[in-house]
């Protein structure tokens, strides 16, 4: 009988070590893949999701695009001119952010940029430029009054004309959720890792 005590102690010790390892692994994974805390965020979140005013624009394929077209996607909404170097730099930033979502493949496939083309550009040219950055992204064109129905809730300065350029450090990019509501603003963010991290707060 006494000979069995060392075996029991060894078994208990092994179980204790395994439990400690499982706890440490769970803690690591929880911190690596867990939902970000509110205090970790650099975005501005609306206290309540904001509805989008009704509008009708044309997308990169020449199809009508209204509020319902935002649904079933996470939409990064930005405005400017696709021929502007600053806007192209902003688009590259969000390509890098989109790439950062690769660890969550479902979220990545559900995420896109919706670019508001605020100056004159043909639909084929708009399609060619936006798909150069990512075929999953889309761009919209149309009447100024319709475009302003989207730029106003983004908090862009009220003026007689729509923005035609982009400044990375002063950029405003809206996040519209898969239900079609405006939920947050990404303002002046220049780190794609931060953008991808903050988007995951909502998932």
DSSP code string of 51-86: PPPP--EEETTS-EE-GGGGTTSEEEEEEE-TTSHH
CA angle 47, 52, 54 (to 5 degrees): 160
| pLDDT band at residue 34 using 50, 70 and 90 as cut-offs | very low
pLDDT more than 90, % of the chain: 71
* Lowest model confidence (mean pLDDT) among 65-79, 120-134, 148-162, 172-186: 148-162
Give pTM, 2 decimals: 0.80
Report the half-sphere exposure of 17 (CA within 13 A, side-chain side). Answer: 6
pLDDT at 175 over 50: yes
Per-residue pLDDT, 153: 87
Per-residue pLDDT, 158: 63
* Phi, psi (degrees; rounded to nearest 5) at 141: -135, 160
Reference 42, options 199, 203, 202; nearest CA is 199
pLDDT at 29 over 80: no
pLDDT more than 70, % of the chain: 79
| pLDDT band at residue 25 using 50, 70 and 90 as cut-offs | very low
For 74-88, b/e burial (b = at least 16 CB within 10 A) is bbbbbbbbbebebbb
Reference 113, options 87, 86, 91; nearest CA is 91
| pLDDT band at residue 17 using 50, 70 and 90 as cut-offs | low
* Phi, psi (degrees; rounded to nearest 5) at 45: -100, 130
The answer to whether 193 and 100 are in contact (CB under 8 A) is yes
pLDDT at 161 over 90: no
**Mean pLDDT in residue range 90-106:** 96
């Amino acid at each position: 009988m006494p000979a069995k005590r060392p075996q029991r102690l060894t078994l208990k010790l092994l179980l204790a070590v395994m439990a400690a390892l499982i706890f440490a692994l769970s803690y690591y994974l929880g911190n690596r893949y867990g939902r970000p805390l509110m205090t970790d965020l650099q975005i501005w979140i609306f206290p309540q999701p904001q509805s989008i005013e009704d509008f009708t624009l044309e997308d990169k394929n020449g199809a009508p695009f209204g509020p319902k077209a935002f649904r079933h996607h996470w939409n990064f909404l930005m405005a400017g001119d696709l021929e502007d170097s600053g806007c192209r730099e902003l688009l590259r930033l969000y390509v890098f952010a989109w790439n950062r979502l690769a660890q969550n493949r479902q979220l990545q496939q559900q995420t896109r940029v919706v670019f508001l083309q605020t100056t004159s550009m043909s639909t084929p040219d708009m399609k060619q430029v936006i798909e150069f950055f990512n075929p999953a992204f889309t761009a919209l064109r149309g009447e100024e009054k319709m475009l302003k129905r989207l730029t106003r809730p983004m908090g862009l300065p009220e003026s007689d004309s729509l923005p035609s350029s982009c400044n990375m450090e002063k950029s405003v990019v809206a996040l519209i959720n898969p239900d079609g509501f405006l939920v947050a603003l990404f303002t002046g963010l220049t780190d794609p890792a931060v953008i991808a991290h903050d988007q995951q707060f909502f998932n």
